[in-house]
Amino acid sequence: MDVCVENVFVAPAIEEMNLTPAIAEVECREASFKPECGSQDKQVPRYKAAGQETATQSPSRDPGASASPAGSSETPRTETAAEKNPWSAWAWLGLCRTRTEKNLSCSGAACCATTKSVRVPNIVHVDVDAFFASVEQVLNPKLRGKPVLVGRGVVASASDEAKSRGVRTAMSFREALRLCPKAVVVPGRYEHYADFAERVRRILETYTRAVETAALDDFYLNFAGTERLYPDYEATLRQLQAEIFGRTGLSVSIGAGRTKVVAAIASRLDGPRGFRMITPGEEDRFLTPLPVEKLHGIGHLYAGALADRGIATIGQLRQVPKPALQAAFGDSIGQQIWERARGLDGREVLSSGAKSISREMSIEGGAIDTEFLGGLIEYLSERIGSTLRECGNQARTIGLRIGYVDHFSTHQTVRLGKPSNDERELLAAAKELFGKLFARRAAVRMDMAACV
């Protein structure tokens, strides 16, 4: 079996480099998005209510979306760059999507069109606030309002009351108890966390079929094509937030944006119980003043390297040419940082019909407890097995990738003795891979995938 190892090397300071001219247009790249097979809840979903059918938006662009008004059809319409090349930067990054609605107040020559384009942030990120600690407070009402720490050796989760006193995830218990001496320490009950995560996911799936579980407390939704079902989009998202709290006792923060990265940043700014919608076109104004550390996915290591070069805000980061970032952090990471600083993100919210099903878990600050990590693998196995059964598929191979705090990562894939969708067999294979791959401390990310 082959092991693929990725190493990241930080080059000398940006100002010391002999830069080549920056490339004006993002390079076209081949994309192969494999949407994930989504599970279906037994409840009657809202997207089928009142006899309405939700149309899944096609990733291709609609040439008629910007058609000329009636009477000018004889004038040839100039194709946009996205229409000429469907894999150009704007088309690939998914930035041409709009909602259309009837213009009922149209009157006069200036409003002769029957439809208008309304830009709505269809990508939604739902983040459960202080997840593990919040679940403990729900299970034990005596802990409500008290600072709670969950973990063994290091803080895996801290309640909002503990965070207000300076406690942070991945902090040692010695330091955390120095900052918050009255904190209640709980070792953690993983089986309950997985159960609450599943309850939250089922609620989300009653609003839209396109739900992606990015982590145990981390979900992405795509509301594209639901404008007729949810005419008051903001009210719908606030209702979703309130329903999760009412049915689980957990508070969530919600962010909506045109891309995953913008939605994720928005959801994490105002928590707990945060709510922020970033209208398409407002990304620059939203991102520019934020600290680089707020850029989702950049990591503390890269943020520190940028700070050493005098780059403290996302606005300052946007001034750095892409070749400079690629020279400093490598082609892939440099490209990603350049795109994220502009709110660009080619990742789609996964939906049904996948040939490859994956589940990823991110652990803020990392974790060294092998029992805790083993529990996460068990959860990933259960989710993949459940999805395979709902789709009527069986996995032929299982792959596991582990990332670490220093951005070293390693992964390996194994072929199963026979195709299976039994989570026990998937778990056995995944644990065997974990035993081979977990050779460093402080893992921050695990990605498990099954190919059918």
Per-residue model confidence as pLDDT tens digits over 367-384: 777 777 888 888 888 888
Task: List where CATH 3.40.1170.60 sits in the chain.
Answer: 133-187
* pLDDT at residue 283 in the model: 94
Cα–Cα distance, 295 to 287 (Å, whole number): 9
Pick the more confident residue, 19 or 224: 224
- The pLDDT-based confidence of 22 (bands split at 50, 70, 90) is very low
Pick the more confident residue, 199 or 358: 199
Q: Does residue 427 sit in helix, strand or coil? A: helix
- Inter-residue contact 187 to 171 (CB < 8 Å): no
Pick the more confident residue, 389 or 261: 261
Percent of the chain with pLDDT over 70: 67
* pLDDT at residue 181 in the model: 94
Helices 370-391 and 423-437: crossing angle in degrees, nearest 10, is 140
Four-point Cα dihedral 8, 95, 31, 302, nearest 10: 0
pLDDT for residue 228 is more than 80: yes
CA angle 230, 41, 253 (to 5 degrees): 55
Q: Which of 381, 34, 31, 61 is CA-nearest to residue 194?
A: 381
Cα–Cα distance, 79 to 90 (Å, whole number): 14
Q: Does residue 364 sit in helix, strand or coil? A: strand
Query: Cβ of 178: how many Cβ atoms within 10 Å?
Result: 12
- Inter-residue contact 427 to 434 (CB < 8 Å): no
> If you average pLDDT over residues 398-409, what whole number do you get?
77
Q: Which of 186, 250, 211, 155 is CA-nearest to residue 359?
A: 211
Which of the given ranges, 56-60, 113-117, 131-135, has the highest pLDDT on average? 131-135
* pLDDT at residue 365 in the model: 65
Cα–Cα distance, 389 to 127 (Å, whole number): 27
* pLDDT at residue 439 in the model: 67
* pLDDT at residue 55 in the model: 38
> If you average pLDDT over residues 399-407, what whole number do you get?
77
- The two structure tokens encoding residue 154: 């290091």
> If you average pLDDT over residues 257-279, what whole number do you get?
94
Q: How much is the mean pLDDT over the chain?
A: 74
* pLDDT at residue 19 in the model: 36
- The pLDDT-based confidence of 360 (bands split at 50, 70, 90) is confident
Question: What's domain 356-451's superfamily in CATH?
Answer: DNA polymerase, Y-family, little finger domain (3.30.1490.100)
- The pLDDT-based confidence of 281 (bands split at 50, 70, 90) is very high
> If you average pLDDT over residues 2-15, what whole number do you get?
39
pLDDT for residue 45 is more than 90: no
Pick the more confident residue, 83 or 152: 152
* pLDDT at residue 14 in the model: 40
Task: List where CATH 1.10.150.20 sits in the chain.
Answer: 284-351
Task: List where CATH 3.30.1490.100 sits in the chain.
Answer: 356-451
> If you average pLDDT over residues 91-96, what whole number do you get?
38
* pLDDT at residue 222 in the model: 94
* pLDDT at residue 244 in the model: 97
pLDDT digits (tens, 9 = 90+) for 46-65: 544 433 433 334 343 343 43
Pick the more confident residue, 82 or 310: 310
Beta bridge partners, 403, equal 409, 445
Pick the more confident residue, 7 or 165: 165
Cα–Cα distance, 33 to 358 (Å, whole number): 12
> If you average pLDDT over residues 385-400, what whole number do you get?
82
* Helix, strand, coil percentages, rounded to 5, for the chain: 35, 20, 45
125-152 burial string, b = 16+ CB within 10 Å, else e?
bbbbbbbbbbbbbeeeeebeeebbbbbe
Residue type, 10: V
CATH of domain 284-351: 1.10.150.20
Distances (CA, A) of 198 to 254, 274, 275, 363: 18, 21, 22, 18
CATH of domain 133-187: 3.40.1170.60
* pLDDT at residue 291 in the model: 93
pLDDT for residue 349 is more than 80: yes
The number of residues making up the chain comes to 452
Task: List where CATH 3.30.70.270 sits in the chain.
Answer: 123-129+191-283
* pLDDT at residue 155 in the model: 87
pLDDT for residue 338 is more than 70: yes
Lowest average pLDDT, out of 26-35, 249-258, 345-354, goes to 26-35
- The pLDDT-based confidence of 253 (bands split at 50, 70, 90) is very high
Beta bridge partners, 137, equal none
Cα–Cα distance, 159 to 133 (Å, whole number): 5
pLDDT for residue 15 is more than 70: no
Cα–Cα distance, 84 to 86 (Å, whole number): 6
Question: What's domain 123-129+191-283's superfamily in CATH?
Answer: Reverse transcriptase/Diguanylate cyclase domain (3.30.70.270)
> If you average pLDDT over residues 71-90, what whole number do you get?
41
pLDDT for residue 348 is more than 90: no
> If you average pLDDT over residues 83-98, what whole number do you get?
39
- Inter-residue contact 155 to 169 (CB < 8 Å): yes
- The two structure tokens encoding residue 336: 């990603």
Cα–Cα distance, 18 to 321 (Å, whole number): 12
